[in-house]
Amino acid sequence: MRKEDFPIFKTSVYGLPLVYLDSAATAQKPSVVIDKMTNFYQSHYGTVHRAIYKLSKEATFQYEETRSLVRAFLNADKNEEIIFTRGTTEAINLVAYSFGKAFIQPGDEILISEMEHHSNIVPWQLLVEDRGARLKVIPFDERGVLDLKAFEKLLSSKTKLVAVTHISNVLGTINPIKEIAKMAHAVNAKILVDGAQSAPHMKIDVQDLDVDFYLFSGHKIYGPTGIGVLYGKEALLNAMPPYQGGGDMIETVTFEKTTYNVLPLKFEAGTPMIAEVIGLGAAIRYLQNIGLEAIYTHEQELLNYATKKLKEINGIHILGNADKKGAILTFTLEKIHPLDLATFLDLQGISMRTGHLCAQPVMRHFGISSAIRVSFGLYNTKEEIDYFIECLKKAVEKMLWI
Ligand code: PLP
């Protein structure tokens, strides 16, 4: 699907075609994103919001136009609810700091799940330590499915926030966010959803999901690095103090007292990532032209095809066998170290991830310290999966023989 849109696939790896199976870490960039950013730097570059000259007005227009694109992409109600951050990680840290300062008291509880990326664990640990609050963990079962009964038991009037991932970056599990949001709201808790692995692969509707915060990274949706999005319900964002102080986030500054700008600029201190925002806009347009539904269908086909082929290999253990999964396949192989396998496959032109995958608690759940992960993007093909499986079989044969 549209592989020709991505110039990186014209390059080779060790003289072999590149087979890129690490889109869950970061996605490759289509020409429309690269060209948009190059053109902006070459012909239109200027600062935003502060100046009246033509370049600045045009840059501001494109920057704010992207905010409208993101609003539509998430089906948020208002542009004021869309905050640009450096990525998912910064968006979570922003909420932990600012929501935490406004709403978390000693004895309060924050619930996260056992399948979170470190980015959705550590900021909450920092917060509860600071506020004298408690962090509690929703477990998942052997198939990698969240235990909603255990979740229900953990919920109480002390719960102030539930922070869960939409799609696990290791297990691939698609969590039932609408249901989780309903359960959280029933005890008056807020819900934050880590959309780093869902935004690139499926249509998101924050109003239908009824989530309070949703966040994702530009670089995983085929846009540039250094840009991410925090969606937050307007009333909540209005009730939260600024995360950082500096230019653009103020209304008036005196030495005695500073007043803050309105949303969304209250949370965007300093000169922002202008070209990155504009590149993100190009990525969103690109995804919308193809259609998120078409992307989802294509990637599900790849996932099912690869799962079937992988299961034919002796000694393989797939981590995560939920009924509803995103295009992520993580596994271990008996008697073969993930690093050895990845080194062998790299020499065949295949890029994939090994290690703890920024989810050490998930590794601990399965009693391992590292695993192998392949993940798919819209550009991957069944032929690439065939090649990967063929190389994998060769690697297993060689390594077991040694
Ligand atoms: N959450 C999940 C589920 C992820 O997969 C990732 C990145 O791999 C992140 C958060 C962090 O994203 P970033 O490093 O772009 O901030």
- CA atoms within 13 Å, Cβ hemisphere of 269: 9
pLDDT of res. 377: 98
Tell me if residue 358 is catalytic: yes
In this structure, are residues 41 and 32 in contact, taking their beta carbons and an 8 Å threshold?
no
Q: Are strands 82-85 and 228-232 parallel, antiparallel or unpaired?
A: antiparallel
Q: Tokens standing for 117?
A: 């990326």
Ligand 1: atom nearest CA of 86 is 16
In this structure, are residues 287 and 379 in contact, taking their beta carbons and an 8 Å threshold?
no
pLDDT tens-digit map of 153-202: 999 999 999 999 999 999 999 999 999 999 999 999 999 999 999 999 99
Q: Tokens standing for 218?
A: 């530009």
Percent residues over pLDDT 90 in the chain: 97
Categorize the per-residue pLDDT at 275 as very low, low, confident or very high, splitting at 50, 70 and 90: very high
In this structure, are residues 214 and 231 in contact, taking their beta carbons and an 8 Å threshold?
yes
pLDDT tens-digit map of 227-247: 999 999 999 999 999 999 999
- Fold of the CATH domain 3-27+292-401: Aspartate Aminotransferase, domain 1 (3.90.1150)
Ligand 1: atom nearest CA of 26 is 8
Q: 260 Cβ partners below 8 Å, 6+ apart?
A: 242, 249, 250, 251, 266
To which residue do tokens 């929703």 refer?
Answer: 138
Q: Is the minimum distance from the CB of 23 to ligand 1 under 6 angstroms? A: no
Residue 225 has pLDDT above 80, yes or no: yes
Q: Tokens standing for 36?
A: 């948009």
- Give the bridge partners for 316, in sequence order: 333
Catalytic residue among 358, 368, 389, 399: 358
The domain locations on the chain are 3-27+292-401, 32-289
Q: Is the minimum distance from the CB of 93 to ligand 1 under 6 angstroms? A: no
pLDDT tens-digit map of 36-51: 999 999 999 999 998 8
Cis peptide before 264 (omega within 30 of 0): yes
Ligand 1: atom nearest CA of 116 is 3
Q: Which CATH architecture has domain 32-289?
A: 3-Layer(aba) Sandwich (3.40)
pLDDT of res. 401: 67
Mean pLDDT of the chain: 97
What are the angstrom distances between the C-alpha of 52 and each of 48, 61, 67, 325?
A: 9, 12, 20, 49
Instruction: Output the CA 399–ligand 1 centroid distance in Å.
Output: 32
- The pLDDT of 108-120, averaged and rounded, is 98
Q: CA dihedral defined by 74, 375, 319, 173, rounded to 10 degrees?
A: 10
- Best of 84, 85, 89, 165 to mutate for ligand 1, by most ligand atoms within 8 A of CB? 89
pLDDT tens-digit map of 330-354: 999 998 999 999 999 999 999 999 9
Categorize the per-residue pLDDT at 316 as very low, low, confident or very high, splitting at 50, 70 and 90: very high
Instruction: Output the CA 386–ligand 1 centroid distance in Å.
Output: 28
For residue 272, the tally of other CB atoms under 10 A from its CB is 20
